Structure 1
Amino acid sequence: MRADDLILFYQVVETGAFSRVAEQNNLTNSVVSKRIARLEQELGVQLLYRTTRKLTLTEAGKALVHGAKNVKQATQEAMESVSGFGENISGHIKMSVPSISGDLILADAVAEFCNMHPGLTVDMSLDNRFVDLVDGGFDLVIRTGYLEDSSLIARHILDSQWVVCASPSYIAKNSKPLNPEDLTQHNCLQYAYQTTGASEWEFKANKGNYIVRVSGSFSTDNATALRKAALGGHGIAYVPRCLVYHDIRNGQLVDIFPDQVGKRLGIYAVYPFTRQPPNKVRLLIEHIRTRYLAISHYF
């Protein structure tokens, strides 16, 4: 039994016509018919019922079609796994990334990748929602959080640690909280985009993490707006460290509980389920991962 005959059989089932398969493979109808007949003879079973109007799978054909599909897919993936090496990467990639990473690193990293491969175009949207990859037509999504959809593949890049921070002016005016429970007496600026509630701040304890429920006068789903409110001395913020890394380093913000914040989320490259993603997507993921790891101390 030849693998190319199995692939041809699956193509016939997929298209429903010998003539379409013949055209796709630059063969004659008679050659396609003979190769299917050869496959049936080698297996000792009939795979297809043929009429003038349609093709119908026999029970044996139904049993074989899944394996034939796997052979076709494996062959295609084997070719894709080596395609593009030493060649120009071309085509189009549609991707979605979170706003913080987009501003911090991905806009520059993805634009750089496009310049490295002049035949490639990328459409990158900044969106904190976990978009529907299939319905939205996305080839790649960078996301922070947890992956629940089993039809997707996620590659871990690194982890993002969160911090509780405030400006020196806020602390001078309102005093510095000595423990996480003191936050209930402060104006806590809330980041509406979170995997948990914006008012539920997570901290470490000897027997596992716990939640402090906070309140405040300002809430936003925009990370840049939250950072500006904290820099302006208007309250205490609970945000990914990468957002305020430089602000803490230069003293514009103070990391209030440097060893006690319990929130740490993975950053993932997510793409639709396939054993082997297209080479252009795989190379872009590697490029993005390298750029993240170069500034891993921000996270």
Structure 2
Amino acid sequence: MTLPPADTLVGYPAGQTEGTATVLHVEPLPTGLVAVLLDTTPVHPVDAGWPDQGPDRAVLRVAGTELPVLDCVVGATDGAALHLGRDIPVPKGTPGWAFVVAHLVEGHDALTPGQTVTAVVDAGYRQRMSAGHTACHLASLALNRALADRWKKEVRADALGNPDFDGTAIDVSLIGENGSVDTYRLGKSLRRKGFVTDGLTEQLAGIESAVNAALAEWVATGVGVRIDRDGPRLTDRRYWVCELPAHEVRIPCGGTHVSSLAELDAVRVALSAADTEGTTVLTMATSVG
């Protein structure tokens, strides 16, 4: 069977939570699940390259049956074989390859290519994950601003023009429901780039206070948030845009987000530091509400 020749069209960047689609391919997997490829989907998948936001919760409705989507991942195909997640052998945009959203369900005879299905996302869960992702971006910008005076060398700037500590030092970022957890390694590599770590752990309370003050100021504006995108395909570049009063912020992002900061009510962070194998690791836990 020939696999889909084009990237999946995705509706989740525009906030879509339900949509009708055509089944293009159904493939049994060694795990016992079945990968279902659709021509278009509202379901947000997890990306192996940067898996900060996990998959939506969703179901596929077909022929009077409702199939839970047990996982949703990015895949790629050259037309001959389907590769999922970390097994994808080529970068996005490689000529001759299509990048697709694979909906993983338990095997069911009702699924065949050419069928029409309705994909339905759990809108409440999506909203909570979107709130967590938007808060994560705001917190990273506020942390960058609070640490701006700790750089003794010039480094790349973030979307507000401050030194990009978050982008330079990030180790792991995990988006959750109404929050996120980001960890940063304050090791030799970061110090060589000009970041001053001396005294940071002793000043965490003041840094945390500065971050939370910025977040309170920004959230109080209730300004709009949107996703700009170069096109409707899974691989098209997308950007998180927040219309802060002094400066419109634009950050590349493939996740989902709220439509305004008014939906967040309040955002706060808690900072902590720990020694991990001789390297200081800074953790920022962000919460909404």
**TM (normalized to structure 1)?**
0.26
Q: TM-score, normalised by structure 2?
A: 0.27
Higher relative contact order (CA 8 A, sep 6+): 1
Q: Which has the higher strand share?
A: 2
Task: Identify, as 1 or 2, the structure richer in helix.
Answer: 1
